[in-house]
Structure 1
C-alpha cells in the first residue's frame, strides 16, 4: 500500500477497522489480577553446560562459582527463531486462559521489554497481531528489570481512570541476544522468558499502591551502550555491568521503595504474605527480605532455575508461585524490581 497523496491516505484510513472498544468508560475503583501466565524457551542451560561452552572460549567458571555468587543453577535460552513476541504471546495466552478471558476482551496491552523484536513497531503491536485482535491501544515500556513493575503501575492507573477495563501486562525478554559470552561475570547471570498477567477493573481491592523511581546518574553501572545509526551498530551492543555498584544500590533502594509502598497502602511488613522481588541475585533478594523482617519462607525464588530474565522475572516468578499453590487468593503480595537506568519500583497487591 502506498500513500503517495492525501486522497490515497484518506482511502487507506477509511478501510481500517474501527476500534472495538468504547472511547470513554466509567472509572474503576480497583484493578485486580485475574490470571497469570508464563513461557520459557525449551532449551534449559545448566551451569555445567554453560561452563563447558565458556571453557571453549578460554574462560574458567564452574557450577560452584556461579551458585555461590548468584544462586543460579540454570537458565533458558531462546532458539534462534524465537523472539520476545513469541515468548510474550505464549505467556499472554496462558494468562488469558487462567483469567477465563478471550483475547478480543482485552482493551490494553503493555509489554515491558529491553529486547524488542525490532526498533518498531512495538513488540506489543506484534503480540496484538499474533493474538488476532485489533483496535485497542498497545505499547512497549522500557525500564529494564523494573519494567514489569512500571508496566503494572501504568495499567493500574489506566484502569482506575476508565481508559481500560481489561489489560494484558507482559514482561518478555531474550537477553541471550545481548550477552557478551567473553565476560563470565555477566553472561552467567541472564536468561530468556516471559510472564504475563490479566489486570481487570474490579469492585474488590487488588493493587493497593505502587511507587516508581529512577536516577539517571547511575546509568553507566548497568547498560547496553550501543545504538543503530546509518545501518550500522554504533558503540557496544552488549550488556555491561558494574556488579558491586548494582548490588550496593539495589539492596538500598529495594528496602526504601518497599517501605514507601507499604506506607502508601496503610500496611506494614507484617501484612506481607509473599515477597516476589526481581530475580537477579539470591543475595540481593535475601538481603531485602531480611531488611523487611521477612523469613525465607515468605520469599518466592525462581532465580535458581530461570536466571535473571529482566522484565520477565517478576511475572514469571508470580505465575510459578500461583500455579504451585503457594500464592493464593486473599493473600497480600509485594512485587519489587530494580534495573538499569537506574530504575526501581514496587507494587503491593491483594491477590
Structure 2
C-alpha cells in the first residue's frame, strides 16, 4: 500500500497549562514534567469530530493527485464520535459526495489509525478497492472532565486525512511496508485503566501507571518486530513516531530500543494527547522533512489494550 498524500487539521484555540493551574491548582511545571505537555488545542463550539475531519479532507483534496471520483473506499477512525449513527465515514462521504462505495468507521481506542489502515489493506487484498480515503479524528474535549486532576489536562483535539492506493502512483508516494496490530486485553488492568463511558462521566484514567507500564512494554516490542519482519534492524530506522500519550512514555520507548532523541518525532508538547489522530498528524506535519529511502515506524498503544506498529519507507 502507498500513501499518496496526507493532511492534518487542529483547532485554533490554544489552551495552556495555566488554564489548569487556575482551574484545579496544577502548576504548569507539574504538568509538563509528568506529561511533556505545555499546551493543547481545543475544538470551538461550532466544531466536532466530523467537522475537524472535513477540514482535514478539504486540505487533502486541494492536493489530490487524482479525481475524487476514483476513491472507492472510505474508512473513518475515532473513539470520540460526534454521531454514533451517522458515523464519521458516512459524514465524510456526504461531505465529498462520492456515492455507492464501501464506507465504514471503527474504534480501537488510540490504535484506531493503524487498524483503519489494516481494514484498507484487507479491502485491497480482496480486490474490493484500489484507492481509499482514511480519516482519523478525535474530539477529546467533548468527552473529558477538565476538573479531573489525573487526566483532565492531557487531552487535545485534531484530525488527519490520507489517500491510500494499492499500487504506487508516483515517486512521491510513501510505501507502507507492513502493519502489525494486536489486542492485549488480557494484560494488567486493560479493561479498566482508561475508559470513556458517555452515560457515566466521560474519559477517566484510574490506573495510569498500568497504562504507562504496558505502553512501555508493547510499543518497543512491536516496533522491533515490524522492522525484523521486513529484514531491518533498529539501525535502519530513521524516525520513530510513537502514540502521543505522554512524552515520558516516548522517551522510555526510544531508550528501550536504543534510538537517539533526534530520531523521535513528537507533537504532544503543543497539541496534547490527540488520541488516535496524534501519529497521523505528526506524520503529516513532518512529511516535508522525510527523504527518499528513509524508514519510519509508527507505533501505537490504546485503552483496552490495543497496540500496533507500521513501517513506512519514503
Structure 1 length-normalised TM: 0.83
Closer/same/farther in 2, CA of residues 161 and 273 from structure 1, 3 Å limit: farther
Instruction: Output one character per residue of 1:278-317: Cα deviation in whole Å (capped at 9) or x when no partner.
Output: 1111111111112222111111110101110111101111
Q: Point out 4+ residue stretches in structure 1 off by more than 6 angstroms.
A: none
1:222 alignment partner in structure 2: 194
5+ residue gaps, structure 1, are: 1-30, 227-232
5+ residue gaps, structure 2, are: none
Please list, as runs of the form range in 1=range in 2, the aligned pairs for 1:141-180 lying within 5 A after superposition. 141-180=106-145
1:191 alignment partner in structure 2: 156
Closer/same/farther in 2, CA of residues 154 and 241 from structure 1, 3 Å limit: farther
Does the 8 Å CA contact 1:146/1:311 hold for their aligned counterparts? yes
2:10 alignment partner in structure 1: 40
1:248 Cα deviation after fit: 0.5
- Inter-partner Cα distance in structure 2 for 1:306 and 1:313: 8
- Inter-partner Cα distance in structure 1 for 2:278 and 2:268: 8
- 3-state SS of paired residue (1:224): strand
The structure with more radius of gyration: 1
Specify which of 110, 115, 126 is matched with residue 80 of structure 2: 115
Does the 8 Å CA contact 1:36/1:96 hold for their aligned counterparts? no
- 3-state SS of paired residue (1:145): coil
1:147 Cα deviation after fit: 0.7
- 3-state SS of paired residue (2:84): coil
Does the 8 Å CA contact 2:111/2:307 hold for their aligned counterparts? yes
- Inter-partner Cα distance in structure 1 for 2:91 and 2:286: 28
Specify which of 207, 222, 245 is matched with residue 176 of structure 2: 207
- 3-state SS of paired residue (1:219): coil
Please list, as runs of the form range in 1=range in 2, the aligned pairs for 1:263-302 lying within 5 A after superposition. 263-302=228-267
Does the 8 Å CA contact 2:299/2:308 hold for their aligned counterparts? yes
1:129 alignment partner in structure 2: 94
Specify which of 220, 231, 236 is matched with residue 255 of structure 1: 220
- Inter-partner Cα distance in structure 1 for 2:216 and 2:2: 28
Structure 2 length-normalised TM: 0.93
Does the 8 Å CA contact 2:150/2:205 hold for their aligned counterparts? no
- Inter-partner Cα distance in structure 2 for 1:203 and 1:104: 18
Q: Select the structure that is richer in helix.
A: 1
Matching of residue 327 in structure 1 with residue 272 in structure 2:
no
Give the aligned CA root-mean-square deviation in angstroms: 1.6
Count of residues in correspondence between the two structures: 307
